[in-house]
Structure 1
Amino acid sequence: MDSGVPALALRGLWKKFGDTIAVHGISLDVPRGSFYGVVGPNGAGKTTTLSMATGLLRPDAGTVAVHGRDLWSEPDAVKRTLGVLPDGVRLFDRLTGAQLITYAGLLRGMDRDVVAQRTDDLLAALDLTDAAGRLVVDYSAGMTKKVALATALVHAPELLVLDEPFEAVDPVSAANIRDILTAYVRTGGTVIVSSHVMDLVQRMCDHVAVVAAGHVLAAGTVDEVRAGDSLEDRFVELVGGRQSTEGLAWLRTS
């Protein structure tokens, strides 16, 4: 595989829902072996873009290439290389945690013994071993997020696309997940993660794209995008919309 070919290349992606244009011709290159953050306010088009990038949603126009292969021309082959944690996780929650991860692996055509070992490994790494036999419907929001991440990892994909993977996850689990993802990137994998937490993205990612109103406002290495400021300050500068608090003069305790 040509190391110069991006892990993900988006070209002119558009998506419209009714009269609302959610994504306005987004183009983006995600380098192989990068830890790539996608940040933006609510309604920016992040989830729609990532859904199109992973084949969960067909774009109205534009192309998606994963490691140089067109997603919509070769959907089965390309999707085998992807691990996806979508927004608003919907799982077969009447399975136990162990059953759900096993099911995800078997759906990928993996050997049952390999799936069994990887399931045990993932449950341990994500601190879910004690909950392995519980139904996922009874999991907390953070546990549900972690078991969904495990289903995205079980087949050792080449590219991970994770929409808000740290949402509702406790700090210890978040640190464990960061370690898992960092090690994955260090061994040649590529991670794309969307997040609202600027400090987390600044510390964890080496590349970032700022998305707002369906457009890419800035993209590049984290240092290039933040341009000497904190990523949060640069984000606010790019996105705008910061409100004055003068109208809340009455909100005082003394």
Structure 2
Amino acid sequence: MLKINNLTKKFGDKVAVNNLSLHIAPGEIYGFIGHNGAGKTTTLKSIAGILDYDSGEILIDGKSTKSEPLACKAVTAYIPDNPDIYDFMTGIQYLNFIADVFKVSESERASRISEYAKMFEIEGSLNDSIGTYSHGMKQKLVIISALIHSPKLIMMDEPFVGLDPKATHQLKQIMRNICDNGGAIFFSTHVLEVAEKLCDKVAVIKGGNLVASGTVDEVKGNSSLEDAFLEMEE
């Protein structure tokens, strides 16, 4: 579903991501772990097409993000670490705007918006201005907007930050259901206990370099994922 081959991204003289290669297959929840500044967000934004990259190749569903960007965007969604969205819109206006972008039919969008708004308990706030939303409510709205076109691949940057425990549980279930139905998820997180329980595979990045990748058991060995990560960071 997602193939990253020898990805390198620089900001001036600083190498943010160095020769990174990863393969996320359909059905996999793939965790991306590293300290702040390790290169996680840069990688995710490069996949999403927000950032250009200096060398390497990113393929989504067999298509290049550089030569076929619209085809790649049509089957993906990106949930950023900070939900910066249009405060002047109402929640429902924003969701319909995203649905229009992805050409989701009226019946499909109505069904999905209703389902996910109830699940995340914001159906009563959809007619309110986004400017009145808390950070957690904005995060829920962004998550719903990412799901509205049933993407094959979802990139998430710290998706659980700002969510209440019930919403966190719901999102974990949604992630598992998407992958059980052939989708794939690549997400960054600092919550290593969540990664250990939820992910099929994980990758650890340090200073822009991949230091470990594989199944959770392969990466953590006989210790916890947290202990293994801390050892790699020494």
**TM-score scaled by length of structure 2:** 0.97
- Aligned sequence identity (%): 35
Q: Distance in 2 between matches of 1:147 and 1:75?
A: 25
Residue of structure 1 in register with 2:89 after alignment? 95
Q: Give unmatched runs, 5+ long, in structure 1.
A: 1-6, 241-254
Q: Is 1:179 paired with 2:134?
A: no
Quote how far apart the aligned CAs of 1:92 are. Answer: 1.5
The alignment status of 1:224 with 2:215, answered yes or no, reads no
What corresponds to 2:131 in structure 1?
A: 137
Paired with 1:52 and 1:14, the residues of 2 have a C-alpha distance of: 10
Q: Is the 8 A contact 2:32 2:187 kept in 1?
A: yes
**1:10 aligns to 2:34 (yes or no):** no
Of the two, which has the highest radius of gyration?
A: 1
String of CA shifts for 1:59-110, please: whole Å, max 9, x gaps: 0111100122111111111110001112333211211112211111111112
Equivalent residue number for residue 207 of structure 2: 213
- 1:135-157 CA distances to partner (integer Å, 9 max, x unpaired)? 11111111111110111110000
The aligned counterpart of 1:35 is: 29
1:157-201: CA deviation from partner (whole Å, max 9, x where unpaired) = 011111111011111110111111111111111111110000011
Q: When the two structures are superposed, what TM-score results if normalisation uses the length of structure 1?
A: 0.89
Aligned AA for 2:100?
A: L
CA shift for structure 1 position 18: 2.1
Instruction: Decide whether the 8 Å contact of 2:78 with 2:154 is kept in 1.
Output: yes
CA RMSD of aligned residues (A): 1.1
Report the residue type matching 1:195 in the other structure: T
Between 174-183 and 90-99, report the one with greater CA deviation. Answer: 90-99
Aligned to 2:188: 194
- Supply the distance in 2 between the matched residues of 1:87 and 1:20 (Cα, whole angstroms): 22
The letter of the residue matching 1:154 is I
Distance 1:46 1:151 in 2: 22
| Counterpart amino acid of residue 156 in structure 2 | L
Give yes or no for contact 1:93–1:137 (8 Å, CA) kept in 2.
Answer: yes
Kindly provide the amino acid, as one letter, of the partner of residue 225 in structure 1: V
Report the 3-state secondary structure (helix = DSSP H, G, I; strand = E; otherwise coil) of the residue aligned with 2:115: helix
Match of 2:118 among 124, 131, 150: 124
Structure 2, unaligned stretches of length 5 or more?
Answer: none
For these two proteins, the number of residue pairs brought into alignment is 234
User: What SS does the corresponding residue of 2:155 show, helix, strand or coil?
Assistant: strand
Q: Read off the aligned partner of 2:106 and give its amino acid letter.
A: R
Alpha-carbon offset, residue 225 of structure 1: 0.5
Structure with bigger RCO (C-alpha 8 Å, 6+ apart): 2
Contact kept in structure 1, 2:26 and 2:179, CA below 8 Å: no
